[in-house]
Every structure is written in C-alpha cells, then in structure tokens.
C-alpha cells in the first residue's frame, strides 16, 4: 500500500487569546493537534498559529475535523482558516507592489478569509479612510495597510462590528512572512 505524501499546513485560529477571551496555552494547543495525529506540530506566537504536517489533502474535511476537536477540547466555538505552506508563500509573493516595504511608515496586515467569504465580497464591506488606509483584494485574503502616524484614524478596527468579521482572521505582515519559512 502506498502512503500518501505529507503536506505542511498552517491553521490560523481566530478569536483566541484576545482581550482575555478564549485563553489557550500554546503547549495545550500543540498537544491537541498531536492528539489528532498530525506530525511536526509547532505553534508560533500567542495569536493561534499552528504549523503541522498531514497526509490529508482535503482542506475542508481537515478544517472541520480541527474545528470540532478544538471546540470540544477548549469549550469555545472554534473557527480556523487553513492554508498550506505553499498557499501562504503564494499569498506573500502576490502582495501588492511595495506592500510591507515601509514598516516605519505603515502597519501591514493580511486579512485571511474563511470560506465561503470571497475577497470580492469582503471588499464590499470594507470602508477605508483616505490617506490613512489602503486595501487590496488578493486570492483568499485582503492586504491592508495603515499609515502609522494616523493609525488612530484607521477604519480597520471597524471591521470587528461587521457581519463578515466572523469569517476573517488577521495577521500582521511580519507574522505572515515568518510562517512561510517555518
């Protein structure tokens, strides 16, 4: 019997360790992914980024399995965005020209979209403040930059009140690019 090739995935958990809610220790999170039979499990920073290997090729099936396990294990309604490491590299490589290149001037974030939300649908719900915010649609993501000197005027935080927010998890550019090398 031929064994399926293993693929590197990144699970981006939404809504954990934010504002004192859904507190999950990274060691416990790592252990829960190992309980699911995944290999080479590692976590990156406290915002809920889990890198792991699996031979399962069906992302939708894998997402459901992980969400059900985390919801039961940690007693919260788990939602994740699951990407392969190759997809994450493509997201970084497809960023708008100059995105991430002026960290002293701008804060850069990637808004990862959970299916069924599309970039086109998300763009319809996003409002920006001229000369403060910039947003671009990508493949399964939005790229969002905020002028640091006027960050308090940004409309990025307003997304939290939008219905689409339940289908989005946000990572800063440094975190996003770092995970492509892990």
149 shares a domain with 83: no
* Residue indicated by tokens 């490491």: 85
Q: Which of 87, 115, 131 is the last residue of a domain?
A: 87
Q: What is the pTM of this model?
A: 0.92
Please report the pLDDT score of residue 4 as a whole number.
67
Under DSSP, the state recorded for 155 is S
Q: Residue 5's pLDDT is what?
A: 73
Count of domains in the chain? 2
Rounded to the nearest 10°, the torsion over CA 114, 53, 7, 44 is 50
Predicted local distance difference test score (pLDDT) of residue 104: 95
- Residue pair 47/64 in contact (Cβ under 8 Å)? The answer is no
Q: Mean pLDDT in each 10-residue stretch from start to end of the chain (182 residues)?
A: 76 79 88 97 92 95 97 93 96 97 97 95 94 96 97 91 92 96 90
Amino acid 19: pLDDT: 63
Q: Copy the structure tokens of residue 72.
A: 């039961």
**Pair 112, 135 in one domain:** yes
DSSP-assigned states of every residue in 18-65: BTTBS---HHHHHHHHHHTT-EEEEEETTTTEEEEEES---HHHHHHH
Same domain, 72 and 109: no
| Rounded Cα–Cα distance for residues 146 and 124 (Å) | 19
Could you tell me the residue range of the domain that residue 14 belongs to? 7-87
DSSP state at residue 47: T
Among candidate residues 39, 70, 87, the one where a domain is terminated: 87
Q: Are 39 and 52 in contact (CB under 8 A)?
A: yes
Note whether 67 and 11 are same-domain residues. Answer: yes
Cα–Cα distance list, 148 to 39, 67, 102, 112, 130 (Å): 39, 35, 10, 21, 14
Is residue 1 included in any domain, yes or no? no
Q: Is 92 within 8 Å of 176 (Cβ atoms)?
A: yes
């Amino acid at each position: 019997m031929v064994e399926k090739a293993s693929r590197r995935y990144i699970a981006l958990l939404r809504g954990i360790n934010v504002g004192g809610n859904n507190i999950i220790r990274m060691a416990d999170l790592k252990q829960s992914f190992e309980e699911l039979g995944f290999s080479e499990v590692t976590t990156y920073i406290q915002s809920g980024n889990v890198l792991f290997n699996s031979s399962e090729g069906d992302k939708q099936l894998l997402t459901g399995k992980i969400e059900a396990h985390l919801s039961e294990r940690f007693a919260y309604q788990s939602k994740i965005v699951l990407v392969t490491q190759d997809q994450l590299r493509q997201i970084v490589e497809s960023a708008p020209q100059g995105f991430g290149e002026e960290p002293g001037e701008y804060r850069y974030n990637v808004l990862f979209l959970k299916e069924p939300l599309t970039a086109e649908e998300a763009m319809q719900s996003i409002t920006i403040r001229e000369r403060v915010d910039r947003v671009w649609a990508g493949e399964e993501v939005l790229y969002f930059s905020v002028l640091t000197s006027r960050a308090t005027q940004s409309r990025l935080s307003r997304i939290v009140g939008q219905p689409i927010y339940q289908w989005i998890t946000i990572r800063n550019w440094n975190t996003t690019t770092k995970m492509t090398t892990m």
